[in-house]
Amino acid sequence: LTCPLCGGRLPDRLEPRAPVCPRCHTALAVHIHDKEEYDLCPGCGGMWLDRNEFHLATREFAVFKEEDKGQFFREPFKDPLEYIPCVRCGKVMNRKNFGRISGVLIDECVRHGVWLDAGELEKIQHFIADGGLDMARDREIAKTRTELKDLATRVDQTAFTQKIIHFWNFKRWLFGR
């Protein structure tokens, strides 16, 4: 594997590590819920979800609960920006806003999974139940529609310029033929 940014070689296999909380550095305990295993921190309440586990936990039809329905309010970011290491490989994870508009910052290792601080899974599920993913998709569709209109305008302008150049045939005009 090679890094798409720097072209450096990435190791194929990493040595397995004992799962440790990246916040308080205590060993994670395995918790089973609905036949799914989650790694929970007994100290801070954080949760590690492997990539598949995270996708299963954030499916729209899996998280819809009547008590989650209601107005979702984004809270202002309280904590200073802090990057934490991946539970599996120890490399620094990226921070990203779930659904681009939820206001819930999750720590994600592209190769292994997601770290959620205490309460973030419930916020994500509330965001999904309130239609947040639909709003994010609608914004993305509107953005793509605008980009397509801009592209069509540029293509029309280029085609018009080419027609003018071919109509006036500058070679004939310059060389007198």
What is the block-wise mean pLDDT of the chain (177 residues), using blocks of 10 residues?
72 67 90 80 91 82 53 58 87 88 88 90 84 81 93 90 74 65
What's the confidence (pLDDT) of residue 3? 73
Listing DSSP states for 43-74 in one string gives: TT--EEEEHHHHHHHT-HHHH--GGG-S---P
What's the confidence (pLDDT) of residue 67? 53
What's the confidence (pLDDT) of residue 124? 87
C-alpha R_g of the chain: 25
What's the confidence (pLDDT) of residue 68? 47
What's the confidence (pLDDT) of residue 17? 66
Q: Please give the Cα distance from 73 to 53 (Å, whole number).
A: 25
pTM of the model: 0.63
**Phi–psi pair at 148, nearest 5 degrees:** -65, -40
Q: Give buried/exposed letters for 88-111 (b at 16+ CB in 10 A, else e).
A: bbeeebeeeebbeebbbbbbbbee
The residue type at 135: M
Burial of 127 from C-beta contacts in 10 A (0-12 / 13-18 / 19+)? buried
Helix (H) or strand (E) holding 152: helix 132-168
What's the confidence (pLDDT) of residue 18? 75
Closest CA to 105 of 126, 92, 122, 120: 120
* 33 strand-pairing partners: 36
The residue type at 59: R
Degrees (nearest 5) of the Cα angle 54, 11, 97? 30
What's the confidence (pLDDT) of residue 176? 64
Residue position matching structure tokens 């292994």: 112
Residue position matching structure tokens 């302008």: 157
